[in-house]
A and B are shown apart, each in its own frame.
Chain A
């Protein structure tokens, strides 16, 4: 069992009268790159929130071989990085981009310890890797959506997590920036040896290193398998309840809708 980084057994989330997630079973091994795909309201973000420890749930969840509830020890939280959909911030908020990245290291440092040379170097290295080193001294609120998303990725990695949760990291970005962020995520996956869960509703915008897809619909898991098996007209049409077709050109698969 210990080779499973993340195990969910019959995990459900109920809010008011509705069931947001219903009896989800999921096992993710070390270094897997899993896409969580589904339409709006499928429960993707709720699933991510359960794994991140933001949401109460029923059922059993274990992380790194240990059973967890939504309240969890600091040591476990340190091992789970989280990138929200959009880093919401006021334009005037008093934080610079590099300080925002550094916030990822604060939990690991612990109380009463100041960030040292290592943390500063790490911050700049990751900002460089995310191509935002030149924005280090710019107020975060002044950066564009794409730049903020790259800062957000660097912030999550500076925490040195083993499991990285990405909640629609490319939503609201224009197409060129989406591609750039996906490439950076591929780069992260390659260089940092991480287990990644990537939530998205956009099946046309997936990182190349994603091998496995879990599809949700109405709070239920309706598909779990290879990404190539998920991205077929039949499967996608069933999950998204919309006629979709796939075709290949130059070895690449395209999905089109009528």
Chain B
């Protein structure tokens, strides 16, 4: 019964976090700090992202099919691990950025509390990752992957990567996934405003500035890179 109660409680917490985060953080600030539950949310996002990373990595494996045995496994493992660790780093770095900006507003409260509350804000990212994964299942099989025959010339590899990223299905998927990421990032941002407000004891205005400043910069950068141009390492 306790597991069922916990599950019901968690679902209720999630619904509350998505619909009335201000009230929820107002209650949680009174409780003890705990990173276990936020880490769970972040980990779920990381696992879904790892699945997506595996699919994207399979494209790269096909591109380097002539590299010999073992190359596809290396690419798959690095894609999965990279996607998972990337989400964790995003959580840590994002929290640190919010923490640092809130210092300008003389915010109080520890980093762990900031990390905890920001972790709750990753709940919308779970849905966002799922939608992105569904879109990847839809789009990625349509991508025509170029095969790299020569591994001596870096220009050939760069050219192949550029061909992959300029594939029409790949470009469509990139745009769709970017818009989805932005939508759910804004949803997370709306939660993070309340999170940082209580975690750092800020006014709603200062909390909004603390969150929206880096988020808007990130969104502008993402939109620019997605719709105005795409760059691969080394340029093209």
Query: A and B, one complex?
Result: no
A residues engaging B (CB < 8 A)? Answer: none
Residues of chain B at the chain A interface (Cβ within 8 Å): none
